[in-house]
Amino acid sequence: MLANPEPLVVTGTLLRTSGAAQVAVADCPNCSAAHRHLAVGLRTAPCGATYIVRIPEARTGLSVAA
């Protein structure tokens, strides 16, 4: 019984706003919608999906938890 499989890894896009950063996930693996998160790493989407958000670019210098 695989009750807790390894979370999916999705690619996020870094959004820069004034004084804050967000990570946008363009295609949620659960609902195919776009979600925004305040950090990368293991996140739970508003639709209930759990995934690991990663940004493919080089280090941005942001203090987001990986």
Tell which residue, 65, 23, 25, has the closest CA to residue 47. 25
34 binds Zn ion (CB under 5 A): no
Q: How far is the CB of 39 from Zn ion (least distance, A)?
A: 17
53 binds Zn ion (CB under 5 A): no
One residue of 10, 23, 40, 45 binding Zn ion per CB under 5 A:
45
One residue of 21, 28, 52, 55 binding Zn ion per CB under 5 A:
28
Hey, what long-range contacts does 26-29 have (CB within 8 A, 24 or more apart)? none
30 binds Zn ion (CB under 5 A): yes
Q: How many residues bind Zn ion (CB under 5 A)?
A: 6
How would you list the strands of the sheet with 8-17, edge to edge? Answer: 35-37, 20-25, 8-17, 50-54, 41-44
